[in-house]
Chains A and B, each alone.
Chain A
Amino acid sequence: MGIAQPSRRSLLTALSAGAAIAVAAPALTACGGDGSGSGKVTIEWLDIATTEPSKTIYPEIVKAYEAAHPNVDIRLTNMENDAFKAKMTAVTASGDLPDIFVTWGGGVLRQRIDAGLVKPVDDSAFLDGFMPVSLQPYQFDGKTYAVPYDMGMVGFWYNKDHFEKAGIAEPPATWTQFLDAVRKLKTAGITPIALAGKDKWPGHYYWAYLALRLAGADGVAQAAEAQNFGTPPFVQAGQKLKELVDLDPFQQGFQGAAYDAPGGQAATMGAGKAGMELMGQWAPVVQKDASGQDLGDALGFFPFPAVEGGPGKVTDVFGGGNGHALSKDAPPEALDFLKFLMNEQNEARLVSSGAFMPVVKGAESAIEDPNRKIVAERLNGATGFQLYLDQAFPPAVGQEVNDGVAGLMGGQATPQEVAQAITEAAKNA
């Protein structure tokens, strides 16, 4: 090569110096907190706050806590969602979890609890301050294994202008009324529902909610326990869904549409090209993001309608949230920090910034957006709760629900086949 000797050498020197710094930097920062002899406590905190506003707020809260407790050193690491999941899988296998980590509850958390890696939150006075529904994803055998910090639910986000144009006076309260509304929207020349068929999980919401209404929250839990989804309520859920699918309510080419990609479900809804979508509390933000448009006051929310003949109430909610769990070796200061994180002042700040939905009783007053307010009130008044099925069930069962329902919506599977396939997956999992 034509590179002169000195320049090549200096290049190598520079490279190795860079490498040395890269290696040393974490080591140096690590040195700062490890003076364990002087009563110093180090807390490892693994989170997923890579986006604003929590990306900024979290480190500020950490600083405030460290200022008040000089002996505590909190090391916050934020990872992107999927990288976080991969990392957690790896550290679970090694049995060495971070002191504080994000969890969505359900089957995955259960797995770690069963492996003896998670410490229960044993301060009932502290837990009493939370909305009961927000604690449910983390409760197993009478113990609570995480402190919630966000909670949401799935419901219908609808375009009020379209509903008015189609002559629908009030959001439908029953499944019959709902199907009627779909027919009216179609007659008015409006695509009734935006759906991301390619992503599958948005479709599973329909089946899950119908099952929740027809079997009740207890019925779903019992079916999961007995590994039998072939009972009448679950077949009926498929049949009711088939009634909807037969009306051809989705946008053209929905089977190829993604959720948040250009031209997908959220973009279709945000651009005002569909009457409604069944989605979680994050829907308005993603609509704006994906379509570059804002429905503004035209956007409304109504809960999934009641279904005739089922024990489930319209106030039973389907959704999920985020919580912070503690590893079995977490120091007592870790729980103390979580209390600090969720105190009135910090919770109000996190909620009003739009980062999260409130989980502390009374914090919903910090919300200004009317739609988020409605969701918060619904959550507060929830009579029953079902976690996202792909979180609550083992992954294989959750995916089978997604696949089966996608097949049903594409006209390739019957309600019986779907129920049977899910049962089989549950038995095998």
Chain B
Amino acid sequence: MTLSSTSTSPKPTAPPRGGPPPRRRSARGRRLRGWFATTWFLVPALLVFVLFVLFPIAIALYTSFFRWGGFGWPEDFVGLDNFRELFADPVFRGDLWRGLVLVVLSVGVQLPFALGTAVLLNQRMRGRAVYRAVFFAPYILSEVIAGVLFGMIFLPGSGLADALIEDVPLVGGLAGTWFSDPGTALPTLFAVMTWKYFGFHMMIYLAGLQGIPKEVLEAAAIDGAGPWERFRHVTLPLLAPTLRISVFLSVIGAIQLFDLVWVTTGGGPTHSTETMAVSMFQFGFQRYQMGYASAISVVMFAISLVFSLLYQRFALRRDLQGAMTSTGGAR
């Protein structure tokens, strides 16, 4: 996907156009013309990018220095007060902690689970396509629909989950808790996240597994490698680029989690499932403290940005050679 598009660079020579017959040009002129063409093709995308990405980021950064209710122009400049308040707020510190927990769980539990499923479904077996489709299906659902669905499943007292486990020893005590108890809400949320997203990562892994040449695995088998050794020393290293992208997507997704939380719990009970994005929404659009909400969005952006840059610099370097991490001069 991303990898292939970056590796095939378009030829900069412009195709001959209609009009005057092509004259011989100097190399410099040709380069200049190529530069013009590139610019013109980039203009629409750049315009949209500046207008809808850079500009809002700049505005959010600007308003995060103000105490501002969202009406009129921000006037009450408070400097870094919003950020100071933010990091003193136990709820926001909790947001950071819960974000970290979700990231760790996503990478440590959800992705291995997806990988295991992918390896299983990469074997020849009856109904393989059906399994793949079924596991991938939740990813196609919108987060809101998934949220409403699981809201009903985990409905205290009368939901499906309660009906299923009520009489089961050991876990019977869970009935009526799920999203309703501060202690169980976050694990429940993570379970729903896993249900929703592991199919997507499984699909990526499957695609990666298909790309591993059979010859290599056969050669390893002939050399006497068992199934685990083949997986550990052949499949896994060859799958590494796919894994790195999948981890990246998973972490960014966990940092920005909003819809699912908002629909299932709204961040409760008592902030136990609140994420940064949920806090941002509550302060911005329920309390009308836009400046403070902007500060949250700036912190979220900074965390995502720093993570992406570091990750691309150190983990994705080999995969994205020349695309983002270097200046492009090497090409």
Partner of B155 from A89, A200, A262, A410 at Cβ < 8 Å: A262
Contact B178 A256 (CB under 8 A): yes
User: Interface residue tally of chain B, by bracket?
Assistant: 20 to 34
Bound CA–CA A262/B152 (angstroms): 8
Contact B72 A399 (CB under 8 A): no
Q: How far is the CB of B63 from chain A (nearest CB, A)?
A: 15
Contact A396 B269 (CB under 8 A): no
Partner of A255 from B157, B159, B182, B286 at Cβ < 8 Å: B182
A120 located at the interface, meaning its Cβ lies under 8 Å from any Cβ of chain B in the complex = no
Contact B180 A257 (CB under 8 A): yes
Contact A396 B265 (CB under 8 A): no
Contact A407 B265 (CB under 8 A): no
Contact B157 A93 (CB under 8 A): no
Chain B residues in 8 Å Cβ range of A395: 286-288
Q: Given A253-B178, A263-B155, A396–B289 Cβ distance below 8 Å? A: yes
Q: Given A197-B268, A253-B177, A413-B270, A399–B282 Cβ distance below 8 Å? A: yes
Contact A256 B152 (CB under 8 A): no
Chain B residues in 8 Å Cβ range of A406: 268-270
Interfacial residues of chain A within 263-277, with CB under 8 A of chain B in the complex: 263
A139 located at the interface, meaning its Cβ lies under 8 Å from any Cβ of chain B in the complex = no
Interfacial residues of chain B within 126-184, with CB under 8 A of chain A in the complex: 151-152, 154-159, 176-182
Contact B265 A256 (CB under 8 A): yes
A19 located at the interface, meaning its Cβ lies under 8 Å from any Cβ of chain B in the complex = no
Partner of A92 from B71, B152, B176, B288 at Cβ < 8 Å: B71
Query: Nearest chain-B residue to A271 (Cβ)?
Result: B158
Contact A197 B180 (CB under 8 A): yes
Question: Which residue, B177, B265, B266, B270, has most C-beta atoms of chain A within 10 A?
Answer: B270
Chain A residues in 8 Å Cβ range of B266: 198-199
A251 located at the interface, meaning its Cβ lies under 8 Å from any Cβ of chain B in the complex = yes
Chain B residues in 8 Å Cβ range of A394: 288
Contact bitstring A106-127, B, C-beta under 8 A = 1, else 0:
0000010000000000000000
Q: How far is the CB of B149 from chain A (nearest CB, A)?
A: 12
Contact B268 A255 (CB under 8 A): yes
Contact A410 B287 (CB under 8 A): no
Interfacial residues of chain B within 252-290, with CB under 8 A of chain A in the complex: 265-266, 268-271, 282, 286-289
Query: Nearest chain-A residue to B154 (Cβ)?
Result: A256
Partner of A263 from B71, B72, B156, B265 at Cβ < 8 Å: B156
Contact A263 B180 (CB under 8 A): no
A254 located at the interface, meaning its Cβ lies under 8 Å from any Cβ of chain B in the complex = yes
Q: How far is the CB of A390 from chain B (nearest CB, A)?
A: 9
Bound CA–CA A354/B93 (angstroms): 48
Contact bitstring B233-257, A, C-beta under 8 A = 1, else 0:
0000000000000000000000000
A261 located at the interface, meaning its Cβ lies under 8 Å from any Cβ of chain B in the complex = yes
Contact A252 B182 (CB under 8 A): no
Chain A residues in 8 Å Cβ range of B159: 263
Q: How far is the CB of B78 from chain A (nearest CB, A)?
A: 11
Partner of A93 from B72, B152, B158, B176 at Cβ < 8 Å: B72
Q: Which 10 pairs, one residue from A and one from B, show the smallest C-beta to C-beta distance?
A: A253-B156, A256-B180, A253-B180, A255-B269, A396-B287, A252-B176, A256-B179, A412-B270, A263-B155, A253-B176
Task: Write the residues of chain B forming the contact surface with A, with a CB cutoff of 8 angstroms.
Answer: 70-72, 151-152, 154-159, 176-182, 185, 265-266, 268-271, 282, 286-289
Given A199-B266, A254-B180, A410-B270, 19 new contacts (CB under 8 A)? A89-B70, A89-B71, A198-B266, A251-B157, A252-B176, A252-B180, A253-B155, A255-B269, A256-B185, A256-B268, A257-B180, A262-B152, A263-B155, A263-B159, A396-B288, A399-B282, A399-B286, A400-B287, A407-B270
